[in-house]
Structure 1
């Protein structure tokens, strides 16, 4: 801690999330430090994750995006009076001199250039939206949603009510949040995703369930097709041409294909850049210069699962990192940020999609080949409490049982389940640990066996060889290839009449299965797939059939509720 006669000079570059957090933490650690915050934008400490909800009309007061919980706007006066931090807005840091330990900055409205000394520096320069380098990308009507100015522009478009058709370029988190916001404004919205599926952090079956929900809400989704060209007249956007040559009319396009770390200052200062294109830092948030720290979207993090460098531009992590850096600029080495489990969540109309850790696809791509997964469907709370659907997928190592990842989608309480498994991954817990977790239970909040515990039970059964599972996409692929699957729907006739897969299945209710074994293939090695609404009865049927000698019986994981393809009604 500095003494008032010789106060530490702390400079923080970047005023969105991580920077203000670092500055505020430093002030709480040292009342006498001289702290300066340099921010390029006019606003400070913006809740940028709230932008889509402001655009969509969830709330109308713009100042709520830059307020404290007590309702005080975080402007330079607030930082000066409440925190004794000198916040310079509309000011761009243009150079870092590591030898002289100074930062040169430019006041954008006047062009005035000044230099400020530092003892310790925090770089929180964030990231910049990636824009496709295709013809017409400079037309009016093409926006991103990254800054307050972007949010203001999209909100004004929403309020004017003149745009009829919009294209969202990119089917990730931000893309779907913007899709919902515009759709709620009665704008016909289409999400265009270049890859084979939306929400790349999910495995394909769960991503397709979310895509189906979006389409049921009246929005449109196009996959396996990118934007080849923006089309316009008199400088204004009128449509897009896709890779397949088709054209879609629109007056608005929102680009949401990811962000690129802002590292130019760090590069010019000679700081080390990591393998993923972000500033390289250690667990203390120090760069290759021990007096310079970096936090937020401009840095690389360490995966707590793989140990590899990853980029994770999320607001919660920015705040955690800012807090660690703010403590360390006053007391070096006193706080650490060890890494991340890559946990994320988003609201998509009436669905929520969340993930923590690795998906199956990511795990296999990273060399985790000896893994097992379990996909389940079920309610978040009991039927008599109006429970809502959840579909989840749990991923673990076969040998150790260590949990590697969890995905959850649906209209139920996804957040709670993702949070539980995120903590389990952080603690390096196993499937067995989760299968016996003492979680809170009461009907308004959970089933007696919570959704994540059931997922662990199913995965435990698979790991111990008590159950063979098969996911929807594998069933469909086998049927498309003409494989001789014998499918058994174990529900009751009235359930079958209401909704069924319609893929050549045999209706044999669980209660009569023992009496109808003669209807099954005589070849005990025949591949049989059993299921019900969520495949609980399917699992019981599989155990029954194995008891009578059929040894290639598989349970359709998640049952009808996890089937992402067309069904018969």
Structure 2
């Protein structure tokens, strides 16, 4: 409780995630504080990550996006009665006077202004969707998915059933969640990504596998091509023109190319803005003004891996930061938010795509000396109807510290990503993770969980027991005509059912010792081995090394991680 005799005056700007969390936490710690919540939108505490599933028809009652676990809608009446928090909706904060310690706000329907005094202030103004600076953006039929109002509009379009073709601009998480939602409504979807690869937080081979899965489900993807213009007739969208001149007919376009922190209010108040474009805060989530805190999409945080400032526009992070602020509002400097590992997950058709930490590409760009391991396998035993997981783990060479993990596939990737996220948070090494005491029972895991197997493969590579090569590197060798000898160590039946068509020779693992005479006489010639997931490839590589071949490599992940066309 506040030590002051007069009730503490708290004002919170922003009513989505961080703001309400801070306000509610402060109320639990101080029953007598005066708390005012200012929200520009008509809704409060929106579960924005649920928007695509509402649009896609997974559920129909939009109030479920603004309800408590008990099913009570979080409207101003709820905040007044349950929390004793004054929630002002459709109200925009227009100025902060730090000297007078007041916030001026305007009620949008009426235009009336009000000046609210504060002892402590919270800025949770979120972010604004980025939009291509191209002709035609004012046409009807172009949307973003940022607010609940946006979700309502897209759900109405879905329910009306009049749109046949749509374009999603942006190949990130939100773009593909929207892609699936609209696809469920029977709309023909094309995703446009300006860079060469979708899902830029994934390394390229895994991103290609996800792209293959999306295309197999009937949606199209165009990469390496941006939007040059939106075209229309009579004020309505009719097509999207790409940088290469291609025109894609469509009645709907959803732009999902990222967000920019909403810092105008903080900037006008003279608060410090960080190098990444977000409000600068310390470990207590305080801004450069000790009586003003900030959280959510509008701030910068610290990477627990690199120590650098980053932006993390995620709902869970906003809630964590809001909770820290709520305590510090009442009990200053008693709660800290140390930073993030950039952990995220999403559903893309039947695939889960999960990440934590750094990708290999990011780690190399930051000058880490790394080793990686790509592993394919099941989440639970085959006799329990296990499903495929493909992952890539990243570790620092000298220390063995785990730096990152990506996991995709129809199997349960979520708990694997969560496990590695905590390993990264704890600064664990590959060896630590390879000896982790994780829960095992056939309905839930293999005896050696996918994460542990990934750590074992990576440990083998770090110790020089296995020399791996990625699918992309194998493809590059084949395309360039490099002098390498490729062996498929699967069974003849597997080979007949599906092969890669890269000039491979079939020598099943069980027959390898008896067919060594078929291998290159030059013991320094590169030999690449693989199987379905490359366990047999690894064991076969050990056999060849024992018989004197010195340049033996295993294609990591095997056939299941091959993202290029195959022969059937």
TM tier relative to shorter chain: over 0.9
**2:118 corresponds to which residue?**
118
Where in structure 2 are the equivalents of 1:194-343 lying within 5 Å? 194-343=194-343
**2:64 corresponds to which residue?**
64
CA shift at 1:95, angstroms? 0.3
CA shift at 1:2, angstroms? 2.0
**1:172 corresponds to which residue?**
172
**1:27 corresponds to which residue?**
27
Where in structure 2 are the equivalents of 1:342-421 lying within 5 Å? 342-368=342-368, 370-421=369-420
**2:444 corresponds to which residue?**
445
Give distance in 2, aligned partners of 1:542 and 1:69. 54
Give distance in 1, aligned partners of 2:59 and 2:499. 41
Give distance in 2, aligned partners of 1:25 and 1:559. 50
Where in structure 2 are the equivalents of 1:492-531 lying within 5 Å? 492-531=491-530
- Secondary structure of the residue aligned to 1:419 is helix
The superposition leaves residues 202-244 of structure 1 with CA deviations (integer Å, 9 ceiling, x where unpaired) of: 0000000000000000000000001100000011000011011
The superposition leaves residues 245-297 of structure 1 with CA deviations (integer Å, 9 ceiling, x where unpaired) of: 11100000000000000000000000000000000000100000000000000
Taking only aligned residues, the RMSD between alpha carbons, in angstroms, comes to: 0.6
**1:552 corresponds to which residue?**
551
CA shift at 1:367, angstroms? 1.4
CA shift at 1:5, angstroms? 4.6
Give distance in 1, aligned partners of 2:542 and 2:72. 61
Give distance in 2, aligned partners of 1:66 and 1:3. 34
Give distance in 1, aligned partners of 2:524 and 2:87. 73
Matched, 1:185 2:188: no
- Secondary structure of the residue aligned to 1:539 is helix
- Secondary structure of the residue aligned to 2:330 is coil
Give distance in 1, aligned partners of 2:182 and 2:370. 40
The question of whether the paired residues in 2 share the 8 Å contact of 1:4 and 1:33 is answered with: no
Matched, 1:477 2:471: no
- Secondary structure of the residue aligned to 2:207 is helix
**2:453 corresponds to which residue?**
454
Give distance in 1, aligned partners of 2:234 and 2:131. 21
- Secondary structure of the residue aligned to 1:400 is coil
- Secondary structure of the residue aligned to 2:419 is helix
- Secondary structure of the residue aligned to 2:554 is strand
The question of whether the paired residues in 2 share the 8 Å contact of 1:37 and 1:87 is answered with: yes
- Secondary structure of the residue aligned to 1:534 is coil
The superposition leaves residues 114-156 of structure 1 with CA deviations (integer Å, 9 ceiling, x where unpaired) of: 1000000000000000010000011100000000110000000
CA shift at 1:499, angstroms? 1.1
The superposition leaves residues 480-509 of structure 1 with CA deviations (integer Å, 9 ceiling, x where unpaired) of: 111011110001100111111111100000
The question of whether the paired residues in 2 share the 8 Å contact of 1:487 and 1:504 is answered with: yes
Give distance in 2, aligned partners of 1:434 and 1:565. 31
The superposition leaves residues 309-331 of structure 1 with CA deviations (integer Å, 9 ceiling, x where unpaired) of: 10010000000000000110111
* TM-score, with length taken from structure 1: 0.99
* TM-score, with length taken from structure 2: 1.00
Where in structure 2 are the equivalents of 1:416-431 lying within 5 Å? 416-431=415-430
The superposition leaves residues 148-182 of structure 1 with CA deviations (integer Å, 9 ceiling, x where unpaired) of: 11000000000000000000000000000000000
**1:97 corresponds to which residue?**
97
**2:127 corresponds to which residue?**
127
Matched, 1:82 2:106: no
Give distance in 2, aligned partners of 1:277 and 1:453. 38
Matched, 1:158 2:158: yes
CA shift at 1:3, angstroms? 5.9
- Secondary structure of the residue aligned to 1:407 is strand
- Secondary structure of the residue aligned to 2:337 is coil
The question of whether the paired residues in 2 share the 8 Å contact of 1:501 and 1:567 is answered with: yes
CA shift at 1:4, angstroms? 8.4
The question of whether the paired residues in 2 share the 8 Å contact of 1:3 and 1:32 is answered with: no
The question of whether the paired residues in 2 share the 8 Å contact of 1:381 and 1:447 is answered with: yes
Please, which runs of 5 or more residues in structure 1 have no aligned partner?
A: none
Give distance in 1, aligned partners of 2:478 and 2:269. 59
- Which aligned segments of 4 or more residues in structure 1 are displaced greater than 4 angstroms? none
The question of whether the paired residues in 2 share the 8 Å contact of 1:203 and 1:361 is answered with: yes
- Secondary structure of the residue aligned to 1:329 is helix
The question of whether the paired residues in 2 share the 8 Å contact of 1:4 and 1:32 is answered with: no
The superposition leaves residues 441-477 of structure 1 with CA deviations (integer Å, 9 ceiling, x where unpaired) of: 0000000000000000000000000000000001111
Give distance in 2, aligned partners of 1:525 and 1:390. 34
**1:435 corresponds to which residue?**
434
Give distance in 2, aligned partners of 1:525 and 1:436. 35
Give distance in 1, aligned partners of 2:58 and 2:382. 29
CA shift at 1:479, angstroms? 1.2
